[in-house]
Structure 1
Amino acid sequence: MTNDNRTSPTDAVQAWTGMVPVDDTALAVTDTGGPGIPVVYLNGQFATQGYWRRVIDELGPGRRHITYDERARGKKSKRSADYSFEAAVRDVDAVLAARGVDRALVVGWSYGAVVGAHWAQRNPERAVGAVLVDGAAPYDWLDDAMEVRIRKLFRRIGWLAPLLRPTGLTPRMSAEEQADSNIELGKLSRERELGPVLDGITVPVRYVLASGTSFGSKGDEQEKIRAGLDQVFERNSNIRLGAKVPSNHGAILKKDFRAIADSVREVAALGSPSA
């Protein structure tokens, strides 16, 4: 996809809401407009753009905020034959191209943090930096037993999804498609897979980490996963811990939006001092 109406980072852009075609689908996109380097928000695996409301309100109208719902998520984004991770990374470029954006600061939560890490590593000339919220921690948490557990979980809650779909709170994906996506995430999160991606990032990155559990986790599983970042911080001076907050994985955008906003401000200053 190409767009000839690209804007300078200092241009004030008009607000826009609409659908962006990509591959066999279309994504619901919201661009607040405004001046400065755009901040692009990448959602959790089955979450929607509405989750970022408090972070955006905290950062204020003086920045340009771009949010979107991934394939089959939310109320408007269309279904697809491809829900792979690579499709999710392509969608970042499709949204940026549609909105005429050359350089952006990416902010990703959970699954979106992994997407953001890959996009920043692959596009050093276009990435101002990244804020990764309780995700993208290299750790070998997926084994055969975990894969079975994931499939059982999504089958067990599958009956609820059709009831909530009209609200946009659950994706228009089958239980099997959701499980496949989660299992693919586990494979991508392995140290041998994600470690080199993080080591190759050359732009400023700040992590904001939650505490405690997430949906489907048990005991201290999540804290063990987060501990895998310690070596990443040691190996790559571009990557730092922005904050460790008390809320858990599911509540971090709601309760610790100020810490996330602080890291966005820091990365924006480091990555583009004139923005």
Structure 2
Amino acid sequence: MNTATWTGMVEIDDTALAVTDTGGNGIPVVYLNGQFATQGYWKHVTAGLGSTEWRHITYDERARGRRSKRSADYSLEAAVRDVDAVLAARGVERALVVGWSYGAVVAAHWAARNPGRAIGAVLVDGAFPYDWLDDAMEQRIRKMFRRMNLFMPLLRPTGLTPRMSAAEMAESNIELGRLSRASELGPILDSLTVPTRYVIASGTSLGSKGDEQERIRAGLDAALNRNPNISIAAKVPSNHGAILRKDHRSVTDAVRQIAVLR
């Protein structure tokens, strides 16, 4: 048994992704990051699960982190393809997918399309079917990223911000809004045949106002009523941005719930 951690680059399409694989014979878990986050966000979750029973596979999406390369395609379809590329490169046929925020939508799409390969899915404060994108919101997103672009280039060498333009980041976020509509994401959730557990935060996320985020989360109720494979493992006190740090135990508990059912 190879228990050594592997780090390296996985090539796909016009880019390459920085991947870390702890190896071993444990249950493979692939972690899907927030839209502009990095694999380092998962450190509390992976540490909480330990390395005896689990094989942790993390990676930085296109143009994220310090090493993943830029691409001409930052779509969600590309993100789903990247899951397959990483698993294939590491010789993993079946895996449990855990996604936070944007990564939860990627995880839901991948699990729905690969019922024979998905052990299950844990969706952390994301993948809520709700029509939150309208023309006013689209303009708000574009304005927000234009403002953020004033300081993001300074942070890019640290890997804390993606090597994407403000326009590319805005388009990615707007695409997420379109794909999160009830008419788009609802059928994806309805088609899930593997055990799926949500861990839901409280309060706001970056760019949200008032009770906007709570109304978005409430969009999950209809999907829960329609699909018995989906349930809420926990709703935790921390907000969207802090959930993987402050409430990582609830995420690890949800992962263990899925493993028992496999």
| Structure 1 SS opposite 2:27 | coil
User: Is the 1:59–1:261 Cα contact (8 Å) retained in structure 2?
Assistant: yes
Whether 2:179 is the aligned partner of 1:188: answer yes
Aligned counterpart, 1:236: 227
Q: Report if the CA contact (8 A) 2:30-2:97 is conserved.
A: yes
2:241 equivalent to 1:250: yes
- Number of matched pairs: 261
Rounded to whole Å, the distance in 1 between the matches of 2:155 and 2:22 is: 27
Identity value in percent? 76
Q: Per-residue deviation at 1:12? A: 5.4
2:209 maps to 1:218: yes
Q: Is the contact made by 2:26 and 2:51 (CA closer than 8 Å) also made in structure 1?
A: no
| Counterpart-to-counterpart distance in 1, 2:142 and 2:158 | 24
- TM score, norm. by length of structure 1: 0.94
Give the drift of 1:13. 5.1
1:15 CA displacement: 2.0
Partner of 2:62: 71
1:82 corresponds to 2:73: yes
**Which of residues 109, 115, 121 is equivalent to 1:124?**
115
DSSP 3-state at the match of 1:72: coil
Measure how far apart 1:269 and its partner are: 1.2
Provide the residue aligned with 1:55 in structure 2.
45
Q: Distance in 2 between matches of 1:68 and 1:257?
A: 18
| 1:231 to partner: Cα distance | 1.2
CA contact (8 A) 1:12 1:36 kept: no
Counterpart for residue 5 of structure 1:
none
Deviation at 1:99, TM superposition (A): 0.2
Matched residue type, 1:158? N
Amino acid at match of 1:32: T
Determine helix, strand or coil for the equivalent of 1:147: helix
Distance 2:117 2:183 in 1: 25
1:171 aligns to 2:162 (yes or no): yes
| SS of alignment partner, residue 45 of structure 1 | coil
1:24 aligns to 2:14 (yes or no): yes
Q: Name the aligned partner's letter for residue 51 of structure 2.
A: P
TM-score under structure 2 length normalisation: 0.98
Unaligned ranges ≥5, structure 1:
1-10
- Within 2, Cα distance between the matches of 1:157 and 1:61? 38
* Cα shift readout 1:100-139 (whole Å, capped 9, x = no counterpart): 0000000000000000000000000000000000000000
**DSSP 3-state at the match of 2:153:** helix
Deviations 1:134-192 (CA, angstroms, capped at 9, x unpaired): 00000000000000000000001101111000110000000000000000000000000
Query: CA offset at residue 33 of structure 1?
Result: 1.0
Q: Secondary structure at the match of 2:239?
A: coil
Aligned-residue offset at 1:230: 1.1
Deviation at residue 36 of structure 1 after TM alignment? 2.2
Q: Is the 8 A contact 1:89 1:118 kept in 2?
A: yes
The runs of 5 or more residues in structure 2 that have no matched partner are: none
Q: How does 1:261-272 map to 2 (within 5 A)?
A: 261-270=252-261, 272=262
The structure 1 segments of at least 4 consecutive aligned residues displaced by more than 4 Å after TM superposition are none
